[in-house]
Structure 1
Amino acid sequence: MTQAIYQGFILSRQQYAADKYSRHCGITLCYWLSSDHGPIKVLVPNQHAVFFIPRKQHALAQHLLLKQNISAEFKDVSIKHFSGEECIACYFSSSHALYEAKQLFESHTLDEHITVYEGDVRHSDRFLMERFIRGGVWVTGDVTQQAGFIQIDNAQLKAADSYTPQFKTLSLDIECSGEGVLFSVGLVGQGIDYVIMVGEPQHSEQTICWCHDEIDLLNQLKSLIQQVDPDIIIGWNVIEFDFNVLNRRADALGVKLLFGRGNGQLQIRKGHFTRLTLPGRCVIDGIDTLKNATYHFDSFSLANVSHKILGEKKLIQSDNRLSEIIRQYNEDKLSLAAYNRQDCVLVNRIFEKLKLIEFAIVRTQLTGLELERMGGSVAAFTNLYLPLLHRSGYVAPNLGDHGLSFESPGGFVMESIPGLYKNVIVLDFKSLYPSIMQTFCIDPLGLIRGLDDPDNAIAGFEGALFSRTEHHLPNLIKKLASSRQHAKNTDQPMLSQAIKIIMNSLYGVLGSKGCRFYDPRLSSSITLRGHEIMQTTRQWIEELGYTVIYGDTDSTFVSLPDELDPQGCKAIGKQLAITINEKWQNTIKQRFATQSYLEIEFETLYSPFFMPTIRGKTTGSKKRYVGQVQTGDEKKLVFKGMETVRSDWTQLAHEFQTELFETLFSDTFNVAMLHPIIESYISRLYAGEFDDKLVYRKKLGQHLADYQKNIPPQVQAVKKHQATHPEFEISKGQIVEYVYTTSGAQLYLVDHKFDYAIYVEKQIKPIAQMILTPLNQDFISLKKAQLNLGI
C-alpha cells in the first residue's frame, strides 16, 4: 500500500456495518469517485452514527437501552435545542442500532418518551455535510490498485470545491410488456450503440445483440455496462420505470444485477421517493432534472419534450403505444429495436442541448446533494444550514417544536385596473424574498437569539425578533448573490441558474411544514414585509405623479402618458428605480438602523399593454395580462396566464387570441376591426378549416377507476373509446387528446363530426368577450354563423 492524494467527484455513497471478519468496527462509509485517474473507491472505517437527546433524559435513555441490549455511547458536546434545553449526543456503532434506539425512544408512553433530534440524518450524508464537502473532494489514505479502479482505505477527506469532472455517460432505455416482461434494452453512448433483444437473430444494419431469453438479456446487459464502465447512466423516468422493471424481473428470475463498479449490486428502496444505489455509478433521470432546473412543459413525456426541444418525434406515434410495442415485438422486432435505440438517442440529445449534466454538477457543488437527487429543496437547505447551526451550538429542531399553529400569508397581489394602455413599465425587485431575509436578518437561529436579546434585534412580524449579529442565512444569501453575479459576469449560465433556484427556494423551504426549520414567524416576517414594501413602493410612485395599475409579489406595473416615446418611458423607468432604491436605503437606515439590500430594477416596457377583467365581471383580473415588447425592429407579444400559454386550450384558441391582440396592438387599431375577425373565425370554424386545431390535451390526474362522481370530458372520451376498444390502455399522468363531437367528448383518433357550437361557446366567445368588455363592447349575435350568442 502507498500514500497519495487524489482529487475526485462523488458518484455514490453507501454505509454498512463491519462484518465479523473485518479488522474494523463501527460503520464503514463507502464513496465512489470519478477522477482524472479513473474510478476511485474510498473507504472510511470506524464511524459512529449519532442523534441527540435532552440531557435531562440521559439516565432514562441508558435504562431503556440496557433493557433492550442496545449499545450506545453518550457524549457531552455542548449543544442545545432552540428552547435553550441542553442536549447530549448518542453514538451508535451501526445504523441498525441507531434506528432501533430511535424507535424505542419515540414509541414509549409519555412518562418514558424520549425526544430525539436529527435521528433521520444518514451518517454518509452527515459525514460530508459537516466537512462542507459538496461533490468535489480531496482524499488520501492507504492506496491499492484493484481490477478497474483505485481503492483508498482508512481515507481522510477534504472539500475540493473547484474540481469539475469529465463524466462518462450512457443512455439506457427498456421496452417490455404491460406485465414487465423484458423485450429489449437500448444502450447508446461512450462509443457503443447497442440494442439487446430477446429473439432469434435477424440481419440488421443496426447493432443488435440477440438473446435466448430474459436471463440472457440481463447477463448481456451486465457485461455491456461493465465493458463501457460509465460514471453516469441517464434515461427518461429511468429510476421509477426502467430500473424498477429490471430489478423486479431480476428478482423474479433469480438474477443478481451486478451493474455497479467492483461488481456492486443494484439496490432499490421505496419510500417517499425511490432511492436507487448503484455502487460507483450515478443514475440521473431526465424528467427530474428538468423539473429541478425549473423547466415547464404541459407534459414531460419523452415524445413531447423531444418535439418541443429538438423538433423530433418518436418512431411510434400510436395512441396506444404499448399495444404497438407488443405488436412490433411479435411481428417486427427490427422496428422495435430502432424505436428502442432512438429513445436513447433522443435522451442523449436533450441532455446535451439543455446541458442537464452540467446543471446537476453545479447543483451538487452548491448544495451537497447527490447528483441524481430529485426535488430536494428541504434536503439542500438542511445540507447548507445544519453544519453552521452546529457550530453555533444548536441542534436542529423537530417539526412543530415551535408549537404555533397560525398560517403565514402568501405573496402580495394588488388589485388591477383593467384596460388598454399605450405605455406600461414594469419595475421588479431583484430577488425580493432573499433580499428581505438579508436586510432584516431573517433566520431560524436569528429568531431564537433575537427573542433572547431584544435590544440587539430587528422586529419582524407576529412577534418575531431577529438578532442583528447571530444568524447564518443573511451571510449565505450574500455569498450566493456574489457567486451568481460572478457567474453572470463570466458567462456561466448553468451556475447562475442553479444559484437563482437555490436562492428562490430559501423562502419556500422556510414556509414548508415539511421542513424542520419551519416557523410561521419566519415565513410571515418575509411575506408581510413583502406586502409592506410593495404597498409603500406603490405609494411613493403615485406621490411622484404616476399611476400604478397592478402589482404581483415583486413586480409593480406603472402606466405612463400616451405621448411618451420608448426612450422617454425607459428613462422614467430607470429614474424611478434609482429614486425608489434611494428611498428604501434611507427608510431602512432610519427605521431599523441597518443596511438595505433591496434593489428594484426597471425591467420591461410594454407598449401597448392590456389588463383584462375577471371573466364575467368588471373588476380587474390577477396574474393575467398581455403586453408587447420591442427589441430593435422586432415586436413580440408576451402573454401571462392567458389562454395562449395554457395547454388546456386548443390551437384554435391560441391562434384566435394572438390575432386579436396583434390587431388590438396595431398602430391603426379601432374597435370596428375586431368584429370582422371574430365573424371570420366563426365562419371558418363551421367550414371545417380549423378541424385539425380543435384538440384538447389534458392530463389524467387519477387512475381511470378513481373517477366516480365528477367525470371530466377527457375521462368520458377514454371510457367511450374503451367500450369499443377494450385493449386500449392509459394510465394516470398520461395526456389525453380529445375533441367535442355531436356525440360528446371523444378521443382524437379518426375523422369526427365536430360540435362547432361548443367551440364557439368555449373557445371563441370567452376570448373575444375578455377583450371586448374593457372596450365597452359585446360579443354580439352573428347572423353569418346563424348563431345567437349575445350576452
Structure 2
Amino acid sequence: MPAMPLRPSPSADNLPPAKRARHLNTHLPDSKLTRGERPPQTQKTSFEDDLEKLTQEIRSHEGESMETDQKWARPVLAKINPNTDSIVFQQIDIDESTDSRGPTLRLFGVTEAGNSILCHVTNFMPYIYVPAPPGFQTHMLPAFKEALDSHLAQSSAIVHAVQIAMKTNLYGYAGGSKNPFLKIILKDPKYLPKVRGVFEREGINFNDMFPGPTTTFDNIANELRFMIDTKLVGMNWVELPAGKYSLTSEDKKIGTCQIECSIPWNHLISHAPQGDWGKMAPLRVLSFDIECAGRKGVFPEPNHDPVIQIANVVTTFGEPRPFVRNIFTVDTCLPISGAQVFDFQDQGKMLASWTDFVREVDPDVIIGYNIANFDLPYLLDRAKHLKVHEFPKLGRIKTQRSEARDTTFSSKAHGTRESKQTNIEGRLQLDMLQVMHRDYKLRSYTLNSVCAHFLGEQKEDVHHSIITDLQNGTAETRRRLAVYCLKDAYLPQRLMDKLMCFVNYTEMARVTGVPFNYLLARGQQIKVISQLFRKAADEGLVVPSLKSEGGGDEQYEGATVIEPTRGYYDVPIATLDFASLYPSIIMAHNLCYTTLLQNATIQRLGLVKDKDYIQTPNGDYFVKSEHRKGLLPTILEDLLSARKKAKADLKKETDPFKKAVLDGRQLALKISANSVYGFTGATVGKLPCLAISSSTTAYGRQMIERTKEEVEKKYCVENGYSHSAVVIYGDTDSVMVKFGPKDLAECMRLGQEAAEYVSTKFVKPIKLEFEKCYYPYLLISKKRYAGLYWTRADKYDKMDSKGIETVRRDNCRLVQNVIDTALRKMLIDQDVEGAQQYTKNIIADLLQNKVDMSQLVITKALVKADYAAKQAHTELAEKMRKRDPGSAPALGDRVAYVIVKGAKGDKFYQCSEDPIYVLENNLPIDTKYYLENQLSKPLMRIFEPILGEKANLLLAGDHTRSISVAAPSASVGGLMRFAVKTETCMGCKTPLKPGQKGAVCPNCAARVGELYQKQLTNMNELEVRFARLWTQCQRCQGSLHQDVLCSSKDCPIFYMRKKAQKDMQEASSTLERMYAWVCNYDYDGNFGVLVYRDQECHFVIAHGLIEIKRTKKIQSEHSSAFQIPGRRVPRQTIHKQNHRYSLLIHETIHHPTWSSAAVQASPSQNSFQSNQSVLYDSALSLYQLLALPQLYSAFSYTSITLSTTFFAAFNSSQAFFTDSLTRSFDLSAFTTLSHYFSTFHFHFYSSYSFYGYRQEN
C-alpha cells in the first residue's frame, strides 16, 4: 500500500477491538472529530441540508438522540420458551449445509419484532425418480439399493432408501393411468448429479433391467425441492410450532443471529403470502458506496490503490427516513451535518471497523450501485492485500468467509453478461445497476443518468482521476469527497424506494416460489419450472429431464403482422387488444404437456376428433379438458385470478405501503403468466415443447385475421354506418381500426362496441378489449408508429411512439431532440408544415456549425481493450492514451466522442475525437456524417409516410447550401502546422501588416467605439451564459459555493459549459487586443488597487500587492511589498483556488491601516483632475482584477459587508466617474472604464445572489 500522510486521530481506530463496535455507536460531537479542535465552518450542500432535515425529523419523532446503541443494534430479544412459544418469522434466504446432524437447510429471516433468526431444518433428504423397469418387484428394492451403492463406488453408502411410487409422466396424455417409479432417496444432495449421470449416461447392471441410458424425473435443485415439498415460497412467513423446535445455546451457535434453532422439516409450517400474511417484516437495508484513490490514467486496482472512504445509509424497510448515516474515512475529515464521520489513521483499521459496523447493524438487505462487480469484490481483494483477516466475515455464519467469484448470466431476454457474485450468507443483495439492466432500457446506465431519468435530479460526477487529489488535499476537500460518497450511498436507496423494485421482486419470489436471490442471478425459466413442479407435485405428476433437440435451431412460425397501410391519419384510430392473448389461448384450447396427444395414443384409446380432442392449426393434437384439465391452463387460471383479486384489493386499499405491495403483486402475476408461453418455446430450455408454443402462435394468427374480417364485415356503409371501417395495421395481439368519424368520442364508442362483438366469436376466456385511440396517428412501418394516446375524449394522456430510434445510445442527442420535436409538431400541434420547416432549420444549423457540441456527442462503454473489428471509441481511447496517459479513459469508463472531418480515405473509426480536444483545437465537425448517418434515416422514417418522395427535399435544397467549417489550430498537426496566423482588423477583417499592432486598421479607426461596444456586448452575453451554466452545475452538485469538479460526459451541460468557457476566453483575448490598442496600456506595467470608500470620493491606493496570472503576468514595478503593521503581505500570484482570491480581496479592501496611505480626492473637478492619472490607472487596475472570470466563486467566499460596501460605493459614484472622465479623458478611455464598471456590477450580482439577495440596478 502506498504511504499516506496521516495524522494521529483520537477516533475509532485507536480503540481496542472489543470496544470499537460500541464506539461506532456513540454520537461524536463536531468538536471531537479531528484533533479535538472545532473545525472552521464550511458551506453546506443541498444534500447535507437533506441529511440535517432527516436527522431533525427522526429526533422530533422519537424524542431522543439520533443514533444510540439501542438504535443501531437490533431490538432486544424477549425471552423464548420453546415448549410454549411458537416462533413466526419472514424467511428471506435459504441455503444448504452439512454438520453433525447431516445435511441441513438453513433459513434466515426476521421476526415481526425485528429480531434476526437462523433456523436449521433437519432430516430432509433429496431424491429423484426413475421409471421402474418391467418386472421390477418390491422385494428387489434392497438388492437394487446395494447394487446402486456399489456402482457409485463411494467410500460409504450414499443411498438412504429406494421406494416404489405410483406416478404419472407429465409429458404426454396416456389416458390418466399411473405407472411405477423408483424414488431414490440420497443421504446428501451433493450426490444428486452423480446418480443422475449414472442413469442418463451409463445405465446400471441390475438383473439386466437398466441396460442403457434412462430418463430421470423430478431433477431439481435440492433447496427448491425442499421449498416445493414444504409449500415454502420466496419471502413468505414461516411458523415453528411450540414444542417442535429446539433453541441453540449461545456457546453452540454457528451464526450471528439473535435466535438460532433447529426443527425437523416435516414440522415446519409455511403460510401462503395472502391476506395478513402478505405483510413485510421490518427488514434492515444497508446501502453503501466506496471511494478509491487511484493512480493517474489507471482504473483503481485493489493490489495498489487504497480504499479511502466507505459511506453507509441504513433504513428500516417501509420507513421513509434512514436511521444511520455515516462515513468511514482515511485521514481527517471535517464534520458533515446530519451524518457521523469516523476518520482513521490506517486503512486496514478502517476496513476492520467497517466489518464491525456491518455485524453490529446486521442488515438483512445490502444494496448499492454496481456493488456486485466493483464495491464488494474490491473491498474483499483490498482487505486480503492488507491482511485484514476478519474482514471477509460479512455474512451471518461466524466461520464463513465471503468470496467474489466470476459468473456468467445468459438468457434470451437479457443476453449474456459476465459478472461477479459474492456469497454473504443470510443477507440479500440487490445491485441497482443490475436491476436497471434487467428491467429498463435506458440511453445510459450511469448512476447520474439513471437518477436524472427516474428522480428528476442529477448528481455531481467526480471522475476517479480527481478523487486522489481531493483525498491528498485538506480535511475540507476530504469532506467534500465524503459528501459526494454519502450521496452515492443514498441514491440507490432512493431509487429502490421510487421504483419499488424490492417490493416487486419480493412479490415475484412469492408468486413463482423461488428464493429472492434467484431473481437477479437466474433467468425466467426457473420461475416457470418452480410453478410447474409445485402443481405437478399436487397432482401426482413427475417431470422428465429432457435434453434440447436440434441444438436450439428448430424454429416455428411466429405471430401475424397485418401489412400496415402507411400514412398520417388525422382521424381517430381505435386500438383493439386481446387481453393476455397467449395465456388465454393456452387456457381456451387446453394446451399443455399433460394433454399432448400422439397418434398412437389416439388409436390406442379410440379418441374421436372434436369430441375428445382438437387438432390445432399447425397439426398438433391435444385432449379436451373434459378428459384431462391441463397443468398449464390450471397454473394460468390461478395466476390470472390471483391478479384479478390483487387489483381489486388494490382499489380498496388506502395504506400507501400496502398499495405498493399489492401493485407489485399484480405486476408479478402478470409477468409470470406471460412467461409460461415463452418457457414452452425455449428449445434450449429445461422442458421444451414446440407443439404448445407453435400451436399458440398459430391460434394467435387466426384470431388476428378473424378480428380484421369481423370488424370490416360488420362496420361498413352497407350496414348503416357512416363510414366503412378499415383495419390499417395488426400485430401479435392488437389491431388498429379506422372507423372513419372524426369525432373522438364516437370512435371510442365504436371501438368498445366492436371489442364486445368480436369477443363473442372466440372461445372463452379469450377476450378482445378496447383500450385507447390514437389521434392523430403516424404509421411508419411494421412495429413503428407514433400518435397521441387517448383513453378519454376530453384530454390526451401522452404522446406515444414505438420503434422510433430516439433513445439508442449510438445516436447522438440531436437525433432524439429533432425526432421528438418534429413528432410533437405533427401530432400535438398538427402542423406538418411546421415540422418540415423546423427540420430544415436544424439541418441548416448543423451544416453551418451552429448546433451545440453537446447535441453531437456519442458515448459508448469501453468494456474491453480489443474488439474483433475496429471501433470508434476504442480507437479514440488509444489516441487519448498516447496524448496523455493520465487523463485517458480506462476500462469500464464511457468514452464520449464526436466525428470530425478526416483526410480523404479515412475510415469512420479514424475520425472519432474527444469533444474537449475538438473545442480546444477548433477541429471541424463532419456535419455530413451526422446528416447522412445519424439524422437521415430517422427523418425519412417519419416523413416518408406523409410526403412520399418529397421527403428527400428535407435533406437537400437551399437550406443545405451554406456550409461552415471551423479552421483547426496549428497544434493538431497536418498542414495546419505550417500555417501562419495573421491578425486581422476587427472591423473589416483585412489582414494587418506584419509587425503592425492593434485591433483595427487605419480605415476602421473611426469606428472603434462601435466595434468596441459590439465586442463588449458579446463578452457580456458570454459571461452571462457561462455564469448560468456554472451555477446550474453548482446546483446539481448541491452547493453554490464550491468549484465544479463534475465531468459527466452523459450530461449536455458539461459540454455547454466547456464551450462557453472556451468562447469566453477567445472573446476576452479579443477585448485585450482592444484594450491594448485603445488605452495604449502595457500589461506588464503598473498594476494598482483602488478602493472607493464612501460618497465623498475617498480612495485608497495600494501598490505592489498582487500579481495576476491571466493572458500575461501583471505585476507591479514596485519592488517593495505593501506593509501592514504586524505582518508583511508580499506580492503574490492569484491561484485558481477560491480561498486565495478571497483572502487577497478581503485584505486589500478591509485592512484599516490602509486609510493612512490614502490619496484624498474631493468631488470637485479640480481635485479629481489633479489626481486623474493615478486615479485612472488605479481604477482600471482594480476593475480588471474584479472582472476576472476566475473570481466568480471568489466573491461567494468574501464577507457580505465587503460586497455591500463595494456595490453601494460603485453604484452611487458611477455618475460622477462618468461625468468626470468624459471631460478629462478621450472617449476610448471612458469606454474602457465603463466596461469595468458594468462587468463588476454583473459579477457582484451573480455572486451576491448566492446569499439570496437581489439588487435592482
The interval holding the TM-score normalised by the smaller chain is 0.7 to 0.9
Provide structure 2 residue ranges, at least 5 long, that are not aligned to the other structure. 1-80, 137-143, 206-210, 251-256, 295-299, 316-322, 410-419, 651-661, 717-724, 903-910, 964-1257
The correspondence for 2:665, drawn from 495, 502, 507, is 495
Residue 121 of structure 2 is matched in structure 1 by: 44
Q: 2:779 — aligned with what?
A: 611
Aligned to 1:490, the other structure's residue is in SS state helix
Q: Is contact 1:50-1:92 (8 Å) kept? A: yes
Which of 135, 145, 163 in structure 2 is aligned with 1:75? 163
Q: Is the alpha carbon distance of 1:638 and 1:179 closer, same or farther for their aligned partners in structure 2, counting shifts above 3 Å?
A: same
Does the residue aligned with 2:846 lie in a helix, a strand or coil? Answer: helix
**2:447 maps to 1:287:** no
Residue 261 of structure 1 is aligned with which of 381, 392, 396? 396
* C-alpha distance 457-203 of structure 1, shift in aligned 2 (>3 A): same
Cα deviation, residue 398, structure 1? 2.1
**Residue 657 of structure 1 pairs with residue 657 of structure 2:** no
1:237 to 370, 393, 404: 370
Matches of 1:450 and 1:194 in 2, distance apart?
70
What is the match of residue 221 of structure 2?
122
Per-residue deviation, residues 293-336 of structure 1 (Å, max 9, x unmatched): x333233332221121112333334xxx3323344444454333
Aligned to 2:655: none
Letter in 2 for 1:323: S
1:746 equivalenced with 2:746 (yes/no) = no
For 1:450 and 1:285, locate their aligned partners in 2 and report how far apart those are by CA, in whole Å.
Answer: 51
Aligned residues: 756
Looking at structure 1, the residues matched to 453 and 600 of structure 2 have their Cα atoms a distance apart, in angstroms, of 52
User: Does the aligned pair in 2 maintain the 1:173–1:340 contact within 8 Å?
Assistant: yes
State the distance in 1 between where 2:340 and 2:952 align. 62
1:479 counterpart = 2:635? no
The answer as to 2:200 corresponding to 1:101 is no
The TM-score with structure 2 as length reference comes to 0.56
- Once the two structures are TM-superposed, the CA of residue 567 in structure 1 deviates from its matched residue by 0.7
Give the deviation of 1:200 after TM superposition. Answer: 2.8
> Of residues 735, 751, 757 in structure 1, which corresponds to 2:928?
757
Letter of the structure 2 residue corresponding to residue 131 of structure 1 = T
C-alpha distance in 1 between matches for 2:797 and 2:846 = 28
Question: Shift in Å at residue 186 of structure 1?
Answer: 1.9
1:786 and 2:961 correspond:
yes
Greater alpha carbon shift after TM alignment, 250-259 vs 524-533? 250-259
Listed one character per residue, the Cα deviations across residues 338-394 of structure 1 (whole Å, up to 9, x for unaligned) are 222111110111111112221122112211222233143211111111122234333
Aligned to 1:324: 466
With a CA cutoff of 8 Å and minimum separation of 6, indicate the structure with the bigger relative contact order.
1
Pick closer, same or farther for the CA change 1:674–1:438 going to 2, 3 Å.
same
State the 1:430 CA deviation: 1.0
1:151 aligned residue: 260
Counterpart of 2:561, as a letter, is V
Counterparts of 1:556 and 1:771 in 2: how far apart (Å)?
Answer: 21
* Amino acid across the alignment from 2:632: L
1:300 alignment partner, SS class: coil
Q: 1:465 pairs with 622, 626, 644, which one?
A: 622
What SS class does the counterpart of residue 576 from structure 2 fall into? Answer: strand
| 2:152 match | 65
Residue 1204 of structure 2 corresponds to none
Change (3 A) 1:316 1:670: closer
Alignment pair present for 1:574 and 2:752 = yes
**For the pair shown, which has the larger CA radius of gyration, 1 or 2?**
2
Structure 1 residues 269-294: Cα deviation after superposition (integer angstroms, max 9, x where no partner): 554455544333222222334455x3
Asked if structure 2 preserves the Cα contact closer than 8 Å seen for 1:79 and 1:390, the reply is no
User: CA, structure 1 residues 301+667, in 2 after alignment: closer, same or farther (shift >3 Å)?
Assistant: closer
Structure 1 residue 540 displacement after superposition:
1.6
Q: Deviations over 1:543-591 (max 9, x none)?
A: 2332111111111111231x4300111011001101110111xxx3xxx
User: Structure 1 residues 519 and 457, CA, compared in 2 at 3 Å: closer, same or farther?
Assistant: same
Superposed, 1:148-227 pairs within 5 Å as: 149-155=258-264, 156-160=267-271, 161-162=273-274, 163=277, 164-165=279-280, 166-176=282-292, 177=294, 178-180=300-302, 181=305, 182-190=307-315, 191-197=323-329, 199-205=330-336, 206-227=339-360
CA distance, structure 1, for counterparts of residue 367 and residue 381 of structure 2: 19
Matched, 1:560 2:750: no
The one-letter code of the counterpart of 1:421 is Y
2:495 maps to 350
Structure with the bigger percentage of helix = 2
Name whichever structure is richer in strand by fraction: 1
CA contact (8 A) 1:264 1:279 kept: no
Cα drift, residue 427 of structure 1: 0.8
Q: Does structure 2 retain, via aligned residues, the 8 Å contact 1:457–1:465?
A: yes
The answer on whether the counterparts of 2:127 and 2:184 sit within 8 Å (CA) in structure 1 is yes
From 848, 855, 865, give the equivalent of 1:694.
855
Larger displacement relative to structure 2 (536-545 or 452-461): 452-461
Task: Pick one of 372, 393, 396 that aligns with 2:540.
Answer: 393
Distance (Å, rounded) in 2 between the aligned partners of 1:611 and 1:215: 63
- State how far apart, in whole Å, the 1-side matches of 2:468 and 2:713 are: 70
Matched residue SS, 2:441: coil
SS in 1 for 2:504: helix
Q: How far did residue 696 of structure 1 move?
A: 4.4
Instruction: Select which of 538, 549, 565 maps to 1:417.
Output: 565
1:10 and 2:109 are equivalent in the alignment: no
Matches within 5 A, 1:429-440: 429-440=578-589
Kept after mapping to 2: 8 A contact 1:429/1:599: yes
Q: CA RMSD in A?
A: 3.1
Secondary structure at 2:564's aligned position in 1? coil
Report the Cα distance in structure 2 between the residues aligned to 1:40 and 1:670, rounded to whole angstroms: 66
- Per the TM alignment, residue 42 of structure 1 is displaced from its structure 2 partner at its CA by 1.1
Counterparts in 2 of 1:493 and 1:729: CA distance versus 1, 3 Å: farther
Moved more, 231-240 or 417-426: 231-240
Could you tell me how far 1:53 is from its partner in structure 2? Answer: 2.9
| CA apart distance, 1:729 | 6.1
The answer (yes or no) to whether the contact 2:598–2:621 under 8 Å persists in 1 is no
Note if 1:523 corresponds to 2:693. yes
Matched to 2:756, the amino acid is: I
User: Do 1:446 and 1:471's aligned partners in 2 also have CA atoms closer than 8 Å?
Assistant: yes
Q: Which AA in structure 1 matches 2:107?
A: Y
CA distance in 2, matches of 1:559, 1:408: 32
Separation (CA, whole Å) in 1 of partners of 2:313 and 2:960? 55
> CA, structure 1 residues 435+749, in 2 after alignment: closer, same or farther (shift >3 Å)?
farther
Shift of 1:627: 0.8
Whether the aligned pair in 2 keeps the contact of 1:299 and 1:735 (CA below 8 Å) is no
Q: CA deviation at 1:41?
A: 1.6
**Alignment counterpart, residue 682 of structure 1, candidates 843, 846, 849:** 843
Residues 676 and 106 of structure 1: CA distance in aligned 2, closer, same or farther (over 3 Å): same
